[in-house]
Amino acid sequence: MNKDAIIIIGAGQAGATVAVQLRQDGFKERIVLIGEEPHLPYERPPLSKERLLAPDDTNCQIFRPDFYHEKQIEVQTNETATGINRETRQVLLASGKKINYDKLVLTTGAIVRHIPMLDELGDRVHTLRTIDDADRLRLSLEPGKHVVIVGGGVIGLELASTATALNCQVSLVDTGDRVMRRSIPPILSQFLFERHQKNGVRFHMNAELANACRNPDNTFSLTLDNGTSLQADTIVYGIGVEPNTSLAAQAGLRINNGIVVNHNGQTSDPDIYAAGDVTACWQGQTQTFTRTETWENAQNQAITVAKSILNKETPEFTPPWFWTDQCGLNIQLCGQMNAQEWVCRGDMNAPEGFILFGFSDEILVGGITVNQGREMRNLKKMIAQQSPFCKVSLENKETNLRQLCKAA
């Protein structure tokens, strides 16, 4: 390999993991990690939960500050890459610097999808993507305050859980007929809907925002398309994200719902790789280029990219997995959430939690644990086997999943 640098643009979970994996796999030359934010790489999952509930006790940094110096990884924070010259193999920075690369990795992540009507209202209207966003939002989540959340996806529900825990009064607006409809099955949607309702969340489903204004007393009035009027001290919205592909598009890389990559994380330029939320991979099942916005996907793609750059064997990963913490519940999800049929093991209202098994064409394709995370490793193995496990046996709490997994 040429002795020039490997440049990584985007200093989040994926970018930091690429850099560290390169060192772990023996790469000795220069590694530069470029990030727009003033912070060292940090994890995003705590931003909607622990960072808001206990900011002084929550350190989101992935590695301690001196770690990068020890590994000889150059981290350039507060720096923006403005262009890529593929002919000269250079990255152009806003500071005017140019950095040569042998291989380039794009881990530019995603940006929030905006609602201009709300953005125009100014102070105390929040989105949540960065650690600074979280710290600003925390100042608005005061006990007794009315908080309106627009968007009933993962972030919206986690924020609803956090805000109620901070003794805020919460209303949630969503255009769909069920919460988290893009990522979980109806049976879990209904369960979470009822849990949040018991915690005091007022839901306004199948409703769109028609109008919003700031009142003379500095509160907000929102009107929904069904005529409902809501009052708020603070507004938070999360209606999804868009891949941050501007740099890649300017460089002429192939874009289709994200930066198109192959199974090794390679883009349409063989010397440029990408990983994380910004990437789109071909899915044979849906015949589309699909993005996967999870912590695990960012981690796994980053490891794959590092090993591919060094021509090392890439690992095989278990079925896709993600988690969410809401209403005092740890919920872990694995495999296909669009399974045809779901069967339940345990009482869904019992404090010890329950497990959901998803079947399609009699094959176990998905699994969900609620406060039963110790069983997720077994579930992953069972789903990977693509076997027709007995539903009656799975519903029986006495069945040992570890033994069942070995016997299949």
- pLDDT at position 181: 95
Beta bridge partners of 103: 6
Average pLDDT estimate for 204-213: 97
Average pLDDT estimate for 106-129: 97
- pLDDT at position 404: 85
Per-residue model confidence as pLDDT tens digits over 136-190: 999 999 999 999 999 999 999 999 999 999 999 999 999 999 999 999 999 999 9
Average pLDDT, the chain: 95
Distance CA 202, CA 278 (A): 34
Q: Which domains does the chain have, with CATH numbers?
A: 6-111+241-309 (3.50.50.60), 114-237 (3.50.50.60), 328-407 (3.30.390.30)
- For the chain, how many residues are written? 408
Average pLDDT estimate for 44-60: 94
The secondary element (H helix, E strand) that includes residue 117 is: helix 116-119
Q: Does residue 255 have a pLDDT over 80?
A: yes
To the question of pTM greater than 0.85 for the whole model, the response is yes
List, in order, residues 6 or more apart from 259 with CB less than 8 Å away: 106, 243, 245, 248, 253, 267, 274, 278, 279, 280
Distance CA 340, CA 349 (A): 23
Per-residue model confidence as pLDDT tens digits over 331-362: 999 999 999 999 999 999 999 999 999 999 99
- pLDDT at position 316: 83
Average pLDDT estimate for 263-284: 94
Q: Is 200 exposed, middle or buried (0-12, 13-18, 19+ CB in 10 A)?
A: middle
Q: Are 153 and 112 in contact (CB under 8 A)?
A: no
CA distances from 161 to 73, 148, 186, 199, 239 (A): 38, 13, 19, 8, 17
Q: Using DSSP bridges, classify how beta strands 209-214 and 321-326 pair: parallel, antiparallel or unpaired.
A: unpaired
Q: Does residue 1 have a pLDDT over 60?
A: no
List, in order, residues 6 or more apart from 220 with CB less than 8 Å away: 121, 124, 125, 148, 212, 213, 214, 231, 232, 233, 235
